[in-house]
Amino acid sequence: MYDKIRKNAFPLLAAAIWGLAFVAQKNNTTGAFTFNMSRSAVAFVFLLIIVPVFTKGDFKHILSEKTSKETGSLWFGGILCGIALSAATFLQQLGLDSGTEAGKASFLTAMYIVIVPVFGIFLKKRVSLTVWAGIALAVVGLYLLCVREDFTISPSDLLIVACSIIFAAHIMLIDHFSTRCDGMKMSCIQFLTSAVVSGVFAFIFENPSWSVISENALAVLYLGVFSSGIAYTLQILAQKNANPALVTLLLSMESVFGVLFGALFLGESLTAREYLGCVIMLAAVVLAQIPVGEMIKKRKRRKADEPR
């Protein structure tokens, strides 16, 4: 039962937290690198505090494992995930700053739901027909939900596509390392890495200051504690021994939650097209959960057990 909750409820909860993050970011006035540095630093400190709770007070191994080999895998995975996360968020912000509309950016970013199972083919990870059907349906739903203008590809859009590819790589890295080390510790190291990488670029390209960060304290705290510290950790825990394509489809519900929370808290109105997109996205998630393969196997076993 816990595995079912972990693999299904955790990514949906993460998607809801990320959806609400759009509301928190709406009036952010810091630079992109400064904001990512701040939220990642908050996430690192938050996770550093709660890791001992889940390791039963083992302060000696807060950011390490019991063997040097396991510790090496923990840090290697955390650093790679942190670099990938920093690169993806940077490309996404650069694409938005270069002219890509927010709706189109949401759609193109969410295309990791297609890229992840394609990556999985090369890594010999099987994806059922129902999951593929759910992914195809989700693409249609995301298009209706996110893209309001005529769909054309511009140079800035290619940056968002690159961001989507790196987010897919980030998901596959989590899939690889989450079975080899503690997910919460790896998430902690991931945000330490992201804070350092974003901080370097912030001091090169921006002018970070405590006054600017404090003006956006609520957004930084929400995204640091919930969107980063909790949601990304939920993603890592959900992906352990799970089908990454299915978890990715559940995570893509972020777009639906983003639209719904925007309407609820910011007074943004939804069009009939967007409502239809939400319904199709929900249908895609339900479709992908149907265990057709298991149902066929059970039916074959019942027929084989029937007296001739």
Q: Give backbone dihedrals phi and psi of 181, rounded to 5 degrees, phi first.
A: -155, 175
pLDDT at 122: 80
Q: Is pLDDT above 60 for 308?
A: no
- Cβ-count burial 222-261 (b if 16+ within 10 Å, e if not): bbbbbbbbbbbbbbbbbbbebbbbbbbbbbbbbbbbbbbb
- Longest alpha-carbon distance in the chain: 81
Question: Which of the pair, 254 or 28, is modelled with greater confidence?
Answer: 254
What mean pLDDT is reported for the chain? Answer: 84
Most confident listed range (261-265, 276-280, 291-295):
276-280
Q: Convert the pLDDT of each residue in 200-251 to its tens digit.
A: 999 998 888 898 899 889 889 998 999 889 998 899 989 888 888 888 888 8
Instruction: Categorize the per-residue pLDDT at 293 as very low, low, confident or very high, splitting at 50, 70 and 90.
Output: low
pLDDT at 299: 66
pLDDT at 53: 83
Could you tell me the sign of the dihedral formed by the alpha carbons of 98, 101, 102, 105, in that order?
A: negative
pLDDT at 95: 83
Q: Where are the alpha helices (DSSP H) in 55-154?
A: 68-97, 102-109, 112-122, 129-146
- Eight-class DSSP state of 57: T
Q: Convert the pLDDT of each residue in 11-42 to its tens digit.
A: 999 988 988 876 776 666 788 889 889 999 99
pLDDT at 305: 65
Judge contact between 157 and 104, C-beta under 8 A: yes
Q: Is the pTM of this model over 0.75?
A: yes
Which of helix, strand or coil describes residue 180?
coil
Could you tell me the sign of the dihedral formed by the alpha carbons of 66, 67, 71, 74, in that order?
A: negative
pLDDT at 295: 59
Q: Convert the pLDDT of each residue in 104-135 to its tens digit.
A: 777 788 888 888 888 888 877 878 888 888 89
164 half-sphere exposure, CB direction, 13 A CA radius: 22
Question: Which of the pair, 272 or 123, is modelled with greater confidence?
Answer: 272
pLDDT at 306: 64
Q: Convert the pLDDT of each residue in 62-106 to its tens digit.
A: 899 888 988 999 999 999 999 999 999 888 878 877 877 766 777
